[in-house]
């Protein structure tokens, strides 16, 4: 389903399986990375409220949250403080600060990232090939891709992912899930 509903939401596959992973204390748990929130946390809130409040959510933004709280920043756009359940980090993806470095810095090596949501306003062009090099298992990739969607899709499909949502437009939102999927993700006829 789409989390949250409406504009700005992202399509998520297998929320039931993610919730089960979050509840399994002997398993890998539920780790979410959200790169590029622009100070707006509706996705993180939807994960917390609609999937599981036990998911460990890390949000990465290029500016401190206070930057986005200024009234003159993007008038009409939501201005909100970082929710208490979100681990907020200042930084963005680049060739020098790639996903592998973020994972290492946070001590998440060897873990499973249930959802890697990326909306970094173009950083994907220089960084997408490194997203899967980190010492983590990324189950789902949700992103806004600025042009070249065929190139991105071809790369992720070659790496064992399937497209489960494709938006329209010049900068479509694309959602990929790693194969094989959990049994809980399968829809019975």
Would you list the domain boundaries of the chain?
A: 2-182
Helix H or strand E encompassing 122? none
Which of 61-75, 105-119, 143-157: highest mean pLDDT? 105-119
Phi, psi dihedrals of residue 84, rounded to the nearest 5°? -60, -25
Q: In sequence order, what DSSP letters do the residues of 54-104 get, joined into one string?
A: T-EEEEEESS-HHHHHSTTSSTTS---PPPTTEEEEE----SSS-HHHHHH
47 pLDDT above the threshold of 90: yes
pLDDT in tens, 88-145: 999 877 665 788 889 999 999 999 999 999 887 767 777 788 888 888 899 999 988 7
Helix H or strand E encompassing 116? strand 112-118
Helix H or strand E encompassing 152? helix 149-158
Q: Sign of the C-alpha dihedral, residues 99, 20, 23, 85? A: positive
Confidence of residue 60 (pLDDT cuts 50, 70, 90): very high
Which CATH architecture group holds 2-182?
A: 3-Layer(aba) Sandwich (3.40)
Q: Which of 10, 142, 133, 116 is nearest to 59 (CA)?
A: 116
The pTM assigned to this predicted structure is 0.90
Confidence of residue 148 (pLDDT cuts 50, 70, 90): low
pLDDT in tens, 78-96: 778 999 999 999 987 766 5
Mean per-residue pLDDT, 29-47? 92
> Of all residues in the chain, what percent carry a pLDDT higher than 90?
41
């Amino acid at each position: 389903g789409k989390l949250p509903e409406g504009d700005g939401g992202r399509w998520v596959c297998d929320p039931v399986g993610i919730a089960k992973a979050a509840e399994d204390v002997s398993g890998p748990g539920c780790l979410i990375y959200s790169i590029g929130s622009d100070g707006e946390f509706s996705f993180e809130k939807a994960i917390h409220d609609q999937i599981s409040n036990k998911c460990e959510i890390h949000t990465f933004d290029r500016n401190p949250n206070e930057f986005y709280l200024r009234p003159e920043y993007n008038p009409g756009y939501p201005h909100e403080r970082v929710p208490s359940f979100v681990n907020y980090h200042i930084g963005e993806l680049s060739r020098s600060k790639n996903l592998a470095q973020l994972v290492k810095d946070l001590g998440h090596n060897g873990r499973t990232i249930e959802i890697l949501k990326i909306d970094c306003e173009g950083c994907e062009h220089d960084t997408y090939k490194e997203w899967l090099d980190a010492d983590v298992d990324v189950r789902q990739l949700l992103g806004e891709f600025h042009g070249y969607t065929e190139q991105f899709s071809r790369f992720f499909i070659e790496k064992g992912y399937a497209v489960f949502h494709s938006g329209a437009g010049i900068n479509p939102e694309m959602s990929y899930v790693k194969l094989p999927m959990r049994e809980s993700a399968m829809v019975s006829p």
